[in-house]
Homo-oligomer: A and B are copies of this chain.
């Protein structure tokens, strides 16, 4: 679950993104509008948290630029209370959420989860593939009815595969989904991660498996489901 966090106040950015990370999100943090537009164009985010008081660009024009390219990405707008009225009015209220500063991490988290849980959002669905069930709201996994012990990476990876069941995932796609851009892994890291996940799936008698397409990527069985 990958987020883009746009906030020019370094200190606040640090703290908040630490909290988000502690809650299992991959967070890319940028400090100006230009970088934000850039990153949003280059990567797929599950949600974007946007502070409106940016130094270089009018916040809403950042939003518009990004929406133009990726209309489906949900936004959470951060703004000071007094600036609230006039700015928020400009938004398509139905598609996004906002939060007034100062806010605490728990509230932001709740908002993010809420936004992700919306129809079409990334949360709140139970994914199924063969005899595997993945509950995306509490992030628990069952294989053949018994709960599976997966580590964070393994869960993230499995979730990714299950969301894109049957579709081919390139190494890049996987890397982008699992790692923020300030934690670049060796190519091998992904091999190791899939290996570990594969073994757990096999050990627990999963009826689907991850297949390799040499030179292209990986995909999850789609037939048994």
- Given A38-B100, A168-B138, A151:B106 Cβ within 8 A: no
Tell me what chain A mostly uses at the interface: helix, strand, loop, or mixed. Answer: mixed
Residues of B with C-beta under 8 A to A217: 138
Q: Is A104 an interface residue (CB 8 A)?
A: yes
Q: Does A126 contact B (CB under 8 A)?
A: no
CB pair B138 A172 closer than 8 Å: no
* Interface residues on chain A, number (Cβ under 8 Å): 35
Residues in chain A within 8 A of chain B (CB atoms): 22-24, 38, 41-43, 100, 104, 106-107, 109-111, 114, 138-140, 149, 151-152, 167-168, 170, 172, 175-176, 181, 184, 187, 213-217
Report chain B residues within 8 Å CB of A172: 23, 106, 109
Q: How far is the CB of A44 from chain B (nearest CB, A)?
A: 9
